[in-house]
Amino acid sequence: MKKPGGLFLIILLFICGLQLRAQQSLRPNIIVFLVDDMGWQDCSLPFWTSATPLNKRYHTPNMERLAKEGMKFTNAYAAPVCTPSRSSMLSGMNVAHHGITNWTSPAKDNNTDAKDDQFEAAQWNMNGLSPTAGVEATAYATVFPELLKQSGYFTIHVGKAHWASYGTPGASPYNMGFIVNISGHSAGHPQSYLSEEHYGNMPRKAIIQAVPDLEEYYDSGTFLTEALTLEAEKALEYPIKNHQPFYLNMAHYAVHTPIMGDKRFVQKYLDNGLDSIEARYVSLLEGMDKSLGDIMDFLKAKGVEKNTIIIFMSDNGGLSLAPPRGGAPHTQNLPLKGGKGSVYEGGIREPMIVKWPGIVKPSSVTDQYVIIEDFFPAILEMAGVRNYKTVQRVDGKSFVPVLKNPLYKDTSRLLIWHYPNKWQDQGGPGINYFSAARKGDWKLVYSLRTGKGELYNLKEDIGETNNLAAKYPAKLKELESLLGKKLQTWNAPMPLDKTTRQPAAWPGQTL
Amino acid sequence: MKKPGGLFLIILLFICGLQLRAQQSLRPNIIVFLVDDMGWQDCSLPFWTSATPLNKRYHTPNMERLAKEGMKFTNAYAAPVCTPSRSSMLSGMNVAHHGITNWTSPAKDNNTDAKDDQFEAAQWNMNGLSPTAGVEATAYATVFPELLKQSGYFTIHVGKAHWASYGTPGASPYNMGFIVNISGHSAGHPQSYLSEEHYGNMPRKAIIQAVPDLEEYYDSGTFLTEALTLEAEKALEYPIKNHQPFYLNMAHYAVHTPIMGDKRFVQKYLDNGLDSIEARYVSLLEGMDKSLGDIMDFLKAKGVEKNTIIIFMSDNGGLSLAPPRGGAPHTQNLPLKGGKGSVYEGGIREPMIVKWPGIVKPSSVTDQYVIIEDFFPAILEMAGVRNYKTVQRVDGKSFVPVLKNPLYKDTSRLLIWHYPNKWQDQGGPGINYFSAARKGDWKLVYSLRTGKGELYNLKEDIGETNNLAAKYPAKLKELESLLGKKLQTWNAPMPLDKTTRQPAAWPGQTL
């Protein structure tokens, strides 16, 4: 029994080593499967009480499969357009807080707001999100992929990034916590989905939206969605082989414009009598769904299916401008009102599904409302990253408690949308200069142009057709006051009235 | 003393674990710092017996610094043009063996050979190198970065790749064993070195040579060479932080055409009276040298300098076509004959330096001749990768014994160059349809057009001005026979005589 200390120490160290190793391998892999511009009903999986006519139009068997293995969120939200959503997801901040309220131009210092008679453009962070301080017109934040990377995750970005303008660090996924980047840059849509057009990279025809990094697929007949899927699988081989937990940001360019047909799927919809634009749109959706299924199959084949979380999400509502969409304008998300760009449900309500084997009950459903900035704390919690430091104050709230308990209910939480910008001359319901708030089933839609609020009860009126402002003035006032205070606290960007030179009134200010 | 087995086992396992960990961390990091189109004397570091007039023109203090810390190879060789060299480096095969004898077009199935009256183009592997079998007009090989990756190295490619045409897997560094790729693709030169021109990515002006992945530097005034250096340092942070050995393929686009001035360095050369083209050329070189110094400083700051091997190399001789170079044609490498494209020393002799702390004696020099395919076995040996399997037979010979012993000498080895192609209409000494061989100090230069050989003694006549073929017919015959046999064994591509429809004669065949 001489010198047992040394021996004990060795054994202790060894056990610690084993534990650390076990801990490492137990950490779940996480995939965010993010679709661009996909509406809440752009799938055969119903997110409402029953299947809508739109649900019946589409065919997305792999979303159905994912929902069977996980939890469906029927009240999940994003911002009305993409960069704000993507920035909220990466920073955990509300849009009104980070101030990237509109989509960023690929080019630096380029305010994308359309011209307006009443307003001058708000001073929003038009260059996007930045992982370093002091970059002009950007929001400085600690992004969650960086925290994942620091904690030992192998982080991969594939597809659309669109977090910041070129000439700033946020333009490169390599500055946003990703170890591997494929095809992510400052552009918000692909110049082309077609390998025959080199995804846009044709000599002297390419613009900034030409998709980089996919030369091996040129002229191979590989649709962009498929190429990105193959690239993601290739990139996943390394961490899987090395038993390193991974985070994959699988951010499809689909189903954003240009609405180009995916020849693998388009014909049957034409045969079914869908107009040619919508047939192409549906083919984009079905190609996206195939990608989801392929990745699920890949995880299974690699033996990591049971330790991999998949979070399905879209970054804003379905596009309802027509053209470029088929049909009459703003009918593409009915019964939801409006579409992309709008603070009505059609612009912000998203199809969200979370599969977490062993934690989430298969085929479960939650009506709890959640919003895109919740991804930040939720993903870090899933990964077991605790006590992390961020330069920003995080607004999002982890939805892990919801995942663990389908009966979880919080009706006191306030969700906020803020769009003090002019997206399109064309406009539409809830599009251009609107804010909104939701608390419980109540929703306020506030026009910055008129200073007037509308009030809806979403449980009874998902289509926001029955304005209850006159009937429930106290509720209206409560929500306006709550929204106004938050916007003021965050010093949210506001458009300037051209005549008075004053910013638009805070909600509640004009009551 | 009961059950000592269990305890022993634990201790043994622990010790094994520690050893494995120690072994991992002892494996050296490896950087190949590959310059494009840099001539043997395009630096202030002399690689001959004393400084030449060209050495005196240039200012590359960091190459001098590297040589002081490592070994200078005065007889290092590559192929006359880039894709053949790069393919030999990655595959370990001689050019005549892999059959990628000319530079590959970014576009698939595009024979880059210039038209000729006498010859039809050889059936060479015009689509380049492939990591998968069965790809048309490619050489299938196991590449060493893949073997490094499999053995636990973190592999990074930054800069020019140019191993294969688009539409084939070899176009993407992600298929060539690299975990991270920045800016490597199918193109062989940059459309622009300037951030103000977005490295070529200007709307509707971009061609395939526009450099991808560098959007954060657009309009920042960052010269391409600097941007690639910053990206390399960024990518290195991850393996360094994780104590993982790394391989960095730092493959600069500099100093290939377009010869654009690096404004940080160009003015002083103009002030010194150098013509404007050559002043720009020198500025490209000095920017490259700064990159080398920056990376050396970075390694030191990160504390990994002493465990990092740096191999400095160029992929072919200095360009001697004028224009685009300044001065009279084929004077840019004097006293060496010819330049890029030529099998004379001006086209193939390279400035090579290897720093390996603790192994290579500082300021050492070797005259042992080595060639680019030697990088494959040498790098794997440095990394401690043994008993690896390759689909190809490796021709290269590790130069690690040379590194360990500056007195190492092997004069019996045969080196071979094979260029059965027409690079340029302009032509020049040793350019278009030439093969060559070196054994000891003897060098054979063989014209496929005429079937005639020239013989030089490089020790006495580095400029290849004194053809000794008539004086030493036996030596000529010996080298022709050796070269011819090797080419036949490898079934090396040969141009076809348009009249006879026969391939050009093997060396030795016509004697």
Could you please report the per-residue DSSP string of B338-388?
A: --TTBSSHHHHEEEEEEE-TTTSPTTEEE---EEGGGHHHHHHHHTT--S-
* CB contact (8 A) between residue B201 and residue A208: yes
State the DSSP code for B174. Answer: G
* CB contact (8 A) between residue B175 and residue A234: yes
pLDDT digits (tens, 9 = 90+) for A116-162: 999 999 999 999 999 999 999 999 999 999 999 999 999 999 999 99
pLDDT digits (tens, 9 = 90+) for B187-212: 999 999 999 999 999 999 999 999 99
A362 burial via Cβ count (<10 Å: 0-12, 13-18, 19+): exposed
* CB contact (8 A) between residue A172 and residue B238: no
Whole-Å CA distances, A10 to B5, B6, B20: 16, 14, 16
Kindly report the backbone phi and psi dihedral angles of residue B434, in degrees, each rounded to the nearest multiple of 5, phi listed first: -135, 150
CA–CA separation, A37 vs A347, rounded Å?
9
Q: Which residues of chain B register pLDDT less than 50?
A: 1-4, 16-24, 511
Is residue B68 a part of any domain in this protein?
yes
First to last CA, chain B: 82
B388–A contact, CB cutoff 8 A: no
pLDDT digits (tens, 9 = 90+) for A306-323: 999 999 999 999 999 999
* CB contact (8 A) between residue A167 and residue B220: yes
Is residue B250 a part of any domain in this protein?
yes
pLDDT digits (tens, 9 = 90+) for B146-157: 999 999 999 999
* CB contact (8 A) between residue B11 and residue A11: yes
B205–A contact, CB cutoff 8 A: yes
A172–B contact, CB cutoff 8 A: yes
Is residue A416 a part of any domain in this protein?
no
Cβ-nearest to A168 among B172, B216, B238: B216
pLDDT digits (tens, 9 = 90+) for A329-348: 999 999 999 999 999 999 99
Tokens standing for residue B24: 């991992």
Helices (H), A122-221: 144-150
Q: What is the pLDDT of residue B6?
A: 54
B487–A contact, CB cutoff 8 A: no
Contacts of A212 in chain B (CB under 8 A): 212-213
Q: How many domains does chain B have?
A: 1
Is residue B115 a part of any domain in this protein?
yes
Q: Of B85, B139, B163, nearest to B341 (Cα)?
A: B85
Q: Of A136, A67, A143, nearest to A104 (Cα)?
A: A136
pLDDT at A14 over 80: no
A143 burial via Cβ count (<10 Å: 0-12, 13-18, 19+): buried
Tokens 């940001």: give the residue. A249
pLDDT at A62 over 90: yes
Q: What is the pLDDT of residue A8?
A: 58
If you average pLDDT over every residue of chain A, what do you get? 95
* CB contact (8 A) between residue B174 and residue A186: no
Domain range for residue A258? 27-410
Instruction: Give the length of chain B.
Output: 511
Q: Of B214, B255, B235, nearest to B302 (Cα)?
A: B235
* CB contact (8 A) between residue B212 and residue A217: no
Q: Cβ atoms within 10 A of the Cβ of A244, count? A: 16
pLDDT digits (tens, 9 = 90+) for B269-287: 999 899 999 999 999 999 9
B365–A contact, CB cutoff 8 A: no
CA–CA separation, B46 vs B41, rounded Å?
7
CB B445 within 8 A of CB B430: yes
Kindly report the backbone phi and psi dihedral angles of residue B108, in degrees, each rounded to the nearest multiple of 5, phi listed first: -65, 150
Contacts of B201 in chain A (CB under 8 A): 206, 208
Tokens standing for residue A303: 């033996």
Surface of A (96-155) touching B: CB under 8 A: 106, 108, 149
CA–CA separation, A177 vs A166, rounded Å?
17
Where residue A16 falls among pLDDT bands split at 50, 70, 90? very low
At A403 the three-state DSSP class reads helix
Cβ-nearest to B10 among A11, A149, A179: A11
Is residue A285 a part of any domain in this protein?
yes
Cis upstream peptide for B406 (omega within 30°): no
Q: Check if the interface score ipTM surpasses 0.85.
A: yes
Residues A186-208: what's their mean pLDDT? 98
Q: What is the pLDDT of residue B509?
A: 80
CA–CA separation, A481 vs A489, rounded Å?
12
Work out the minimum CA distance from B101 to partner chain A, whole angstroms. 21
Is residue A124 a part of any domain in this protein?
yes
CA–CA separation, A239 vs A192, rounded Å?
31
Angle between helices B61-69 and B276-301 (to 10 degrees): 40
Instruction: Give the length of chain A.
Output: 511
Q: What is the pLDDT of residue B134?
A: 97
Is residue A22 a part of any domain in this protein?
no
Give the domain CATH number at A335: 3.40.720.10
Tokens standing for residue B321: 């076509």
Is residue B82 a part of any domain in this protein?
yes
Interface A-B, measured as beta-carbon pairs within 8 A, has a size of: 111
Angle at A332 between CA A327 and CA A336, to 5 degrees: 145
Work out the minimum CA distance from A114 to partner chain B, whole angstroms. 22
Q: What is the pLDDT of residue B219?
A: 98
Q: What is the pLDDT of residue A12?
A: 52
Probe site for chain B from A19, A215, A237, A238 (most B CB atoms < 10 A): A215
